[in-house]
Amino acid sequence: MSKLSHIDADNRPTMVDVSHKEATMREAHAQASVRLPKEIVRHISGGEIGTRKGPVFATAIIAGVMAAKKTHELIPFCHPIGLDDCKITISMSGDDAVVECRCKVHHRTGVEMEALTGASVAALTIYDMLKAMSHDIVISETRLMVKSGGKQDYQRV
């Protein structure tokens, strides 16, 4: 079994020292699915759901980008990084709102946690804005799809 990166020699939690690493272009793509009940899907018009709280998907995109930028404030050992780019898209696949978050940075550490955080918070925002219509909303399958630029690349097959 490989050594955990966030545990020091004395078995205590610690932040990974990245000072010796070379800065490279790092990219990550994460996805979250939000299953919407039929009574909500019927309200989608022009790729958006309008509610008294405002446009659901547009608000979720903003919330997801904001969260990705603050990942280091939410996940204890994530390094603070200034994202070079963060794009969130939301599309429908059947009854699922599919949230895609793509992050990019030129840094010594990767951006997969930022992409996962952005996709997760966008999905949670969709739930929050639609819960008055139904509590039968299911957030599922938040996952890393692709990461590149670090020690090893990853692509979900």
CATH code at position 112 = 3.30.70.640
Average pLDDT score over the chain: 94
* pLDDT tens readout for residues 20-69: 888 999 999 999 999 999 999 999 999 999 999 999 999 999 999 999 99
128 is catalytic: yes
Residue 60 belongs to some domain of the structure: yes
Instruction: Look at residue 6 in the predicted model and tell me its pLDDT.
Output: 75
Residue 4 belongs to some domain of the structure: no
Residue 145 belongs to some domain of the structure: yes
User: The dihedral of CA 147, 149, 150, 153: what is its sign?
Assistant: positive
Residue 16 belongs to some domain of the structure: no
What domain range includes position 61?
Answer: 24-149
- Per 3-state DSSP, the chain is made up of helix, strand and coil in percentages (nearest 5) of 25, 35, 40
Check if the beta carbon of residue 58 is closer than 8 Å to that of residue 48. Answer: yes
- Active-site residue, from 17, 128, 136, 153: 128
Q: Which residue has the higher pLDDT, 13 or 147?
A: 147
What's the structural domain count of the chain? 1
Check if the beta carbon of residue 57 is closer than 8 Å to that of residue 40. Answer: no
Residue 90 belongs to some domain of the structure: yes
Residues 6+ apart with CB under 8 A from 127: 34, 137, 139
Instruction: Look at residue 1 in the predicted model and tell me its pLDDT.
Output: 45
Read off the pLDDT of each residue in 90-110 and give the average, rounded to a whole number: 96
Residue 156 belongs to some domain of the structure: no
- pTM for this structure? 0.91
Question: Rounded to a whole number, what is the distance in angstroms from the first to the last CA of the chain?
Answer: 23
